[in-house]
């Protein structure tokens, strides 16, 4: 079963591809942003604590994120045995804590998908989404800030996971179907998804690092 981390700047398609992967695999989709927005909408104590951060486009403190995420990941593992983590981890301390947590509970992730697109494309997609979904953090100023926060806090995770051999970098500046075909190929080559009929890759085509140590 896949236990995947989706790593991407805002607007690169993290939500879209996470939902697609969830449908393909039967793993549980866990979106940190959705969980936070639910708390805010419900007006819970936790929601009140996180609202200022999410509205400004700042990261919510790691402790609060863990309080929300940990029960969801444990429940996911119990129900489906797999997860697609959409929006977490987002800082090095979160990644290190998640690795520890994953090791303790035998829930280590086995793939990290890093989605990319040119910055102006990201901005224009998020402004389009603002018209459709009305998210309060999809304004130009907050979008620029979220992109800067990604570059500073989250981008270092790319090298961290790449050095562990579990990272796939995918450009999403092309049709969704192409992105998904590449993603499927890679997961199948690593034995994380069953081969599609007539689409199996021979063993010798396994990419380098296919047997790398798992890490969350």
Of the residues 59, 107, 167, 216, which one makes contact with ligand ADP according to CB under 6 A: 59
Q: How far is the CB of 175 from ligand ADP (least distance, A)?
A: 21
Q: What does the alpha-carbon distance between residue 66 and residue 85 come to, in Å, rounded to a whole number?
A: 13
Closest to 2 (Cα-Cα) out of 100, 90, 95, 112 = 112
102 part of the interface to ligand ADP, by CB under 6 A: no
14 vs 190 by CB, closer to ligand ADP: 14
Judged by CB under 6 A, how many residues of this single chain contact ligand ADP? Answer: 19
Q: Which residue's CB atom is positioned nearest to ligand ADP? A: 33
Per-residue burial over 41-71, b if 16 or more Cβ lie within 10 Å, else e, is eeeeebbeebbeebeebebbeeebbbebbee
47 part of the interface to ligand ADP, by CB under 6 A: no
Per the document, the length of the chain is: 216
Q: What does the alpha-carbon distance between residue 45 and residue 135 come to, in Å, rounded to a whole number?
A: 21
Q: How far is the CB of 90 from ligand ADP (least distance, A)?
A: 4
Q: How far is the CB of 19 from ligand ADP (least distance, A)?
A: 13
Q: How many CB atoms lie within 10 A of CB 207?
A: 12
Greatest pairwise CA separation for the chain in angstroms: 54
122 part of the interface to ligand ADP, by CB under 6 A: no
Q: What does the alpha-carbon distance between residue 58 and residue 54 come to, in Å, rounded to a whole number?
A: 6
Residues 157-216 binding ligand ADP (CB under 6 A) are none
Q: How far is the CB of 91 from ligand ADP (least distance, A)?
A: 7
Q: What does the alpha-carbon distance between residue 114 and residue 140 come to, in Å, rounded to a whole number?
A: 23
65 part of the interface to ligand ADP, by CB under 6 A: yes
Residues that bind ligand ADP (CB under 6 A): 10, 14, 32-33, 36, 53-54, 57-60, 65, 87-90, 94, 137, 146
């Amino acid at each position: 079963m896949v236990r995947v981390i989706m790593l991407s700047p805002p607007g690169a398609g993290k939500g879209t591809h996470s939902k697609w992967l969830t449908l393909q695999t039967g793993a549980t989709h866990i979106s940190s942003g959705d969980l936070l927005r639910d708390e805010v909408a419900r007006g819970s104590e936790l929601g009140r604590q996180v609202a200022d951060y999410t509205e400004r486009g700042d990261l919510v403190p790691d402790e609060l994120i863990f309080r929300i995420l940990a029960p969801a990941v444990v429940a996911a593992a119990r129900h489906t045995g797999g997860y697609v983590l959409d929006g977490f981890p987002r800082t090095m301390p979160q990644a290190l804590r998640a690795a520890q947590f994953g090791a303790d509970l035998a829930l280590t992730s086995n793939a990290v998908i890093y989605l990319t697109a040119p910055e102006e494309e990201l901005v224009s997609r998020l402004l389009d989404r603002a018209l459709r979904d009305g998210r309060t953090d999809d304004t130009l100023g907050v979008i620029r800030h979220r992109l800067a926060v990604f570059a500073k806090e989250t981008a270092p995770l790319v090298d961290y996971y790449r050095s562990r051999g579990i990272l796939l970098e995918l450009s999403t500046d092309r049709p969704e179907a192409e992105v998904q075909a590449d993603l499927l190929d890679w997961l199948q080559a690593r034995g994380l998804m069953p081969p599609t009929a007539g689409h199996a890759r021979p063993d010798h085509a396994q990419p380098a690092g296919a047997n790398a140590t798992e890490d969350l």
